[in-house]
Amino acid sequence: MLTQYTAGDTPEARKGVGPLIPPLSDTLRPMRQQVFECVRAAGLIPRVQVAKDLGISPASVTTITSELIDSGLIEEVAAPREGEGVRGRPAVALGVRAVAHRVAGMKLSDREHTAVIVDFAGNLIADDAIPRRPGPMTVTELLAAVETLLDRVCAKAGISRADLSAIGLGVPGFVDCADGVVLWSSVLNDRNVALASLAGNRLGLPVWVDNDANLVALAELWFGAGRELSDFAVVTIEHGVGMGLVLNHRIYRGSQRLGLELGHTKVQLDGALCRCGQRGCLEAYIADYALAREATTALNWGHKEGQSIAVLLESLYDHAKAGNATARSIFRRAGRYLAVGLSNVVNLFDPALIILSGERMRYDYLYAAETLAEMDNLAINTGRPRPPIEIHAWGDLLWAHGAAALALSAVSEGLLAANRDIAAQ
C-alpha cells in the first residue's frame, strides 16, 4: 500500500525521533579493548572465563588474545590448578604484561606534591613527595617542581625518564582534560595554562592533565571501593571541595569537561568569599581555609596569623576534642553545610555509593551522626534508604595513583587503537 503524505508531512520533513547513538560509542567499545580491560581487571584469568564474562565465543577470544600477546600487551601465565598435586600440566591464565610500560602519576597541591610510578598492570614501583611553599606559583616554578619530583621518583624506581610511556598530572581547579588546559587553579598564578603541552615539552613525554577530584574518583574506580560499582560519587575535602562522578564505569566530566564542581555550587547568596572570587560557594564554608578563617575570628586567634593553615586546623581540632564549645560549633556549622552539599548530590544523581575522601576526613566532626541525619532530612524522602557513605581518610598518594590511572588509560587506549588500525590495513 502506498502511503499518502499530507501537507507538511513529506519524506524530507520526517527527521526521526529518539536518540541517535553513534556507532562504537563509549558504551560499545571495540571487542579488542573489552578483552584487554577484562584481563586487566581480573589480574589473571583463563580464556574460557573471558569468553563467559564478555558473552563471546572462545574462538573470538583466542583470536583477539593472540593478537594482544603478539603486540606485547598481555601474556600467558602458568597458574597451578587448585586441589591437584605437583603432577600434571599447569593451567594457563592471561595477565597484563606488567613490564610492557611504566607511567608516572603526580598530584600538585597547595601543601605538597606527590608522585608514584606504576607498571602496566598498575603495580606500584616507587613513590615520593616534596613539600611546597604556600600560595600560587608561576608556570615556570610549577614545571620546575614537576621536573624535580619526577627525577626523584624515577631515581627511587631505578629508571630514567625515557623508561616512562606517559605522565598523568592532577591539579585543583577547573581543568579541560581533553585539551590539557588548566583554566584556573589555586596552585597557579595564571589562567588558561596549556599545562599538558608545556609539561610534555619540558619533560619529553606525553602528559595528560585532569582535575584532582576526578583523579580520586579514578583511583577508586581502578584500585578502590568503586571497582565493582557502575555508579558512585567521590567528594573530596582539603584546601578546596571537589567532586568526581562515575557513571556506567566512566568518569563523567560534562560537555565542556568542567562539570561536577560541587565546591562552587552556591549555598548562600552574597555569602562568604570563596578563593574562586565568587561568594557563597560551598567550599567557602567547608574547606580548610574556611575553617581557619572561622577559627581566627571566633576564637580571637589574631596572634596566630603567621601560622600555617595546617597548624591552625590541628589546634582547632584539639580545642574541639577538649570540649571547647566555640571550636565544636565551627565544625558543626561546616558539617551542616556539608550535609546540604551531600543531599544535593543524592537528589541529583542517586549514586550507589558516596565516598568522602581527603585530609579533612580525619576531622570526624564534619561527618558526625547529626550531620548525616541532617543530610537525610534534606534529601528527598522516597521511602528508600539513602546511598551508603564511606570515609576514606587517605593521603595524597591516592590522588597520585589516580593520575597514574589516567596515564595508564591513555597509553592502553592509544596502543589498542593503533593495533586496530594496523589490523584493518
Which grid cell sits at 131? Answer: 613539600
**161 pLDDT more than 90:** yes
Q: What pLDDT shows up at residue 425?
A: 46
d(CA 208, CA 179): 9
d(CA 118, CA 297): 45
Which grid cell sits at 52? Answer: 563467559
pLDDT tens, residue by residue, 328-342: 999 899 999 999 999
Q: What pLDDT shows up at residue 24?
A: 45
Q: What pLDDT shows up at residue 272?
A: 92
d(CA 120, CA 222): 13
Tell me the pTM: 0.85
Which grid cell sits at 19? Answer: 536518540
Spell out the residues 6+ positions from residue 359 whose beta carbon is closer than 8 angstroms to its own. Answer: 237, 238, 288, 393, 395, 396
d(CA 273, CA 147): 34
Name the β-bridge partners of 78: 92
Quick one: average pLDDT of 93-98?
92
Q: What pLDDT shows up at residue 86?
A: 54
Quick one: average pLDDT of 121-139?
91
**Residue among 153, 82, 70, 163 at smallest CA distance from 113:** 153
Phi then psi dihedrals of residue 161, to 5 deg: -55, -35
Which grid cell sits at 148? Answer: 624535580
Q: What pLDDT shows up at residue 98?
A: 93
Quick one: average pLDDT of 159-175?
95
Mean model confidence pLDDT for the chain:
86
Whether the domain at 26-96 and the domain at 101-217+398-420 fall into the same CATH topology: no
**122 pLDDT more than 60:** yes
Q: Find cell 613490564 and name the residue.
A: 99
Contact 312, 318 (CB under 8 A): no
Residue ranges of domains in the chain: 26-96, 101-217+398-420, 226-395
pLDDT tens, residue by residue, 244-294: 999 988 899 988 888 889 999 999 999 999 988 899 999 999 988 898 888
What kind of fold does domain 26-96 have according to CATH?
Arc Repressor Mutant, subunit A (1.10.10)
pLDDT tens, residue by residue, 46-75: 999 999 999 999 999 999 999 999 999 999
Q: What pLDDT shows up at residue 133?
A: 78
Q: What pLDDT shows up at residue 1?
A: 47
pLDDT band at residue 82 using 50, 70 and 90 as cut-offs: low
What kind of fold does domain 101-217+398-420 have according to CATH?
Nucleotidyltransferase; domain 5 (3.30.420)
**140 pLDDT more than 90:** yes
pLDDT band at residue 358 using 50, 70 and 90 as cut-offs: confident
Give percent above pLDDT 90 in the chain. Answer: 53
Q: What pLDDT shows up at residue 289?
A: 87
d(CA 115, CA 388): 31
d(CA 95, CA 45): 7
Which grid cell sits at 231? Answer: 555508579
Q: What pLDDT shows up at residue 127?
A: 97
What kind of fold does domain 226-395 have according to CATH?
Nucleotidyltransferase; domain 5 (3.30.420)
Which grid cell sits at 263? Answer: 565546591
> By mean pLDDT, which of 7-21, 88-102, 334-348, 397-411 is the weakest?
7-21
Q: Tell me the three state secondary structure of residue 246.
A: strand
